[in-house]
Structure 1
Amino acid sequence: MSLVVITALSTVAVGCSLFGDGGTSKDEVITFWHGTTDVEKDALEEIVKRYNEKNPKKKVEAVYIAQQGEGQNEKLLAAIAGGHPPDVAYFDRFEIGSWAAQGSLTEITERVEKAGIDDDSYYDYAIDEARYKGKLYGLPMDSDARLLFYNKDHFKEVGLDPEKPQMFLMSFIDHRDDGGARHLANLQIADRVADTSRI
């Protein structure tokens, strides 16, 4: 059995019968696995509620699965192997390639095109990471913003320009040859840096 993926920066969603070629009943329930909690869970439930109100014949059932996504998808893997995966599940984008290579995900390129969903709706790095061998296996759902704080005095002490921290980060990426460098290379480096010294 294979699934479909709906992506996020750190996460994606995976599904099977939602995009299957077989027949579906008039009143269909789409099972959606997620691992969100707290405020994010409240927001997700509100999205599902609004969708269900507009689509009474094809409702989404959001099911909380502890540690779903975040690189921990043991229950999802077991569900796929057992032939009963969810229709959609929150999933890490960087895992798409390895899961798709094993035939665990459903390719959705044509369906996305027919739905009129355009790549321009997403950041390049996000939609690109949802592809494997040129085929789309997911759609970005969210992303996150990360900050790097640094001490300007320490930069000066070692001969670095504290006003150009991007150059330091790019140099760090260029000189590492492990997986961390490849992961960091996916970051979009801001062309401006906020001065937080007076905060």
Structure 2
Amino acid sequence: MSKSSARLNRRQFLTLAGAGAIATGLAACVPAAPVGDAGDGAMEDVQLQFVTNHGDVEIPFFQQVVDNFTEANPHVQIDLLNVSTEYYTKINTQGVGGDLPDIFYTRTFDVVPYASKEWTVNLQPLVERDSVDTDDFWEAEVEQITYQGDLYALPYDFSNLGVAYNINIFNEAGLEVPDGGWDWDGLRTVAESLTTREDGRTTRWGWAAHPWPWVWVGIIAANGGGILNEDQTECIMASPENIETLSFFKGLWSDGTIPEQGAMPQGVEGFSAGILAMTTMGSWATQWRRAAIGDSFDWDVTAYPFGSEGRRAVSAAGGAWGIATNSDHVEETWQFNVHLTSTESTNILISEPVRSIPGRKSSVPAWTAAAAREDLPPRNVEVFAEMMEDAYSAPFPAYWKDLETIWFNRVAPLISGGDPSVDVAESLGKFQDEVNELIAIS
């Protein structure tokens, strides 16, 4: 199917053409605009399926947003369903069968794969028709929800990573807490100083890293490397810059500064238990960490280190909302999506409960205020939003899911531990060869 025909099928086009005057000029801060032409009289009842993948504690917020929309649009019924287990397996099964819900949650690194399979509606014509303020979205997220130059989703949240640290441990060691101006060598020096051993056994580790590939896109780029070339037609992972970067991190677990896989006691989250002095922390984890740590110790968060290229090693990814091409009610679903991603709704879903970073810049002040209002750690939570301006911008390719599988086989063991005799250059070479084979058949 051509790109133009993938945008909207004939039935959907005629529906939207007839609704051309509906809710034009929607502003970011005006949610729940009534759907339909006021001159039509009674409007046909519409039922939409809205499926998400979040914790049960968040569902009342989603229900509030739904209720706000249906109150303004009583002819639209929205069935909210939260799928907490095997969500992506179910979405992929429904996508193959052409039976996706009208609107559903998608991670930003899934947007391009779904769009390339023609599972989701090209939203660009609707964005332009209704003058949606895309300048209020994070630039890096816009890149990730764009396929062939067009938007295929609207943003929910955007996440990046910082370094959480145990203030009590720093005080006991007589070290100043980090101010975020460090580079990777600086982090390593601090982590080594905070690592403790007894009888040849590590009792406290200095830091811990996540092996997820999206996290490493930024780390690798900040050190002058890359996973893929600019047009994503070739894997370049076996470069000298990448070998140097991964050798550095392999050294951290080889010398016991970060825990290798399986080193932590079963069922124990190391930072919350006080056996990790520092850890990588996602911006989405503020409330979870507060609950897990309680008043056991004082803690805060600081910025990710600078890489050798003089920029922070900040990767970002997030959540978004896509509309299924099999939907019978694209116009109504689109209007709900605009409402769902408005500043007011984003404040309800993200800012007030302090969940990750809002997908809209206009919601950041409310997010920062809510995070600071309770005077609870991390008191430096605004650092996540500050780092977002330096987030590494790159779309995820359509073959990202398969690339992830190769990554966890070849590269993740260099980060989270395994056989210390494994050669970094050889592992990256195998990864590069296998990804290039993947690209050739994608």
- TM-score band, normalised by shorter chain: 0.5 to 0.7
Instruction: Give 1:50 deviation, angstroms.
Output: 1.2
Which one of 46, 68, 77 corresponds to residue 92 of structure 2?
A: 77
Question: Is contact 2:95–2:119 with CA below 8 Å preserved after alignment?
Answer: yes
- 3-state SS of the aligned residue for 1:143? strand
Structure 2 distance, partners of 1:59, 1:163, is 50
Alignment-derived partner of residue 33 in structure 1: 51
Aligned residues: percent identity?
A: 20
Inter-CA distance 178–97: structure 2 relative to 1 (3 Å threshold) = same
Which one of 62, 69, 72 corresponds to residue 44 of structure 1?
A: 62
Instruction: Give 1:81 deviation, angstroms.
Output: 2.0
Inter-CA distance 23–114: structure 2 relative to 1 (3 Å threshold) = closer
1:110-121 alignment, distance < 5 Å: 110-121=125-136
Code of the residue aligned with 1:51 in structure 2: it is: F
Question: Is contact 2:122–2:151 with CA below 8 Å preserved after alignment?
Answer: yes
Instruction: Give 1:178 deviation, angstroms.
Output: 4.5
- 3-state SS of the aligned residue for 1:149? strand
1:135 partnered with 2:150: yes
Structure 1 distance, partners of 2:14, 2:79, is 20
- CA RMSD, Structure 1 to Structure 2 (Å): 3.7
Which one of 57, 66, 73 corresponds to residue 75 of structure 2?
A: 57
Q: With the length of structure 1 as denominator, give the TM-score of the two structures.
A: 0.65
Code of the residue aligned with 1:174 in structure 2: it is: N
1:160-179 alignment, distance < 5 Å: 165=181, 167-168=183-184, 173-174=222-223, 177-178=226-227
Alignment-derived partner of residue 21 in structure 1: 13
Instruction: Give 1:109 deviation, angstroms.
Output: 0.2
Mean Cα deviation higher: 20-29 or 111-120? 20-29
Instruction: Give 1:176 deviation, angstroms.
Output: 5.7
Which one of 99, 104, 107 corresponds to residue 119 of structure 2?
A: 104
Gaps of 5+ in 2: 1-7, 17-42, 171-177, 188-217, 229-236, 243-312, 317-383, 388-442
- 3-state SS of the aligned residue for 2:157? coil
Code of the residue aligned with 1:142 in structure 2: it is: D
Structure 2 distance, partners of 1:22, 1:66, is 36
- 3-state SS of the aligned residue for 2:164? coil
Instruction: Give 1:186 deviation, angstroms.
Output: 3.2
Inter-CA distance 60–148: structure 2 relative to 1 (3 Å threshold) = same
Question: Is contact 2:108–2:145 with CA below 8 Å preserved after alignment?
Answer: yes
Code of the residue aligned with 2:56 in structure 1: it is: D
Question: Is contact 1:45–1:62 with CA below 8 Å preserved after alignment?
Answer: yes
Structure 2 distance, partners of 1:123, 1:141, is 11
Write 1 or 2 for the structure with the bigger share of helix: 2
Inter-CA distance 57–123: structure 2 relative to 1 (3 Å threshold) = same
Code of the residue aligned with 1:38 in structure 2: it is: D
Inter-CA distance 166–40: structure 2 relative to 1 (3 Å threshold) = farther
Code of the residue aligned with 2:58 in structure 1: it is: E
Structure 1 distance, partners of 2:67, 2:128, is 26
Mean Cα deviation higher: 166-175 or 31-40? 166-175
Structure 2 distance, partners of 1:35, 1:74, is 12
Query: Residues 164-183 of structure 1: CA distance to partner in whole angstroms, max 9, x if unpaired?
Result: 545439776425645899xx
Question: Is contact 1:125–1:186 with CA below 8 Å preserved after alignment?
Answer: no
Instruction: Give 1:66 deviation, angstroms.
Output: 2.6
Alignment-derived partner of residue 286 in structure 2: none
Question: Is contact 1:166–1:189 with CA below 8 Å preserved after alignment?
Answer: no
Give the structure with higher Rg (CA).
2
Inter-CA distance 59–185: structure 2 relative to 1 (3 Å threshold) = same
Question: Is contact 2:141–2:155 with CA below 8 Å preserved after alignment?
Answer: yes
Structure 1 moving runs of 4+ over 6 Å: none
Structure 1 distance, partners of 2:182, 2:114, is 33
Q: Provide the aligned length of Structure 1 versus Structure 2.
A: 163
Code of the residue aligned with 1:88 in structure 2: it is: I
- 3-state SS of the aligned residue for 1:148? strand
Instruction: Give 1:88 deviation, angstroms.
Output: 0.4
Question: Is contact 2:52–2:81 with CA below 8 Å preserved after alignment?
Answer: yes
Structure 1 distance, partners of 2:219, 2:79, is 46
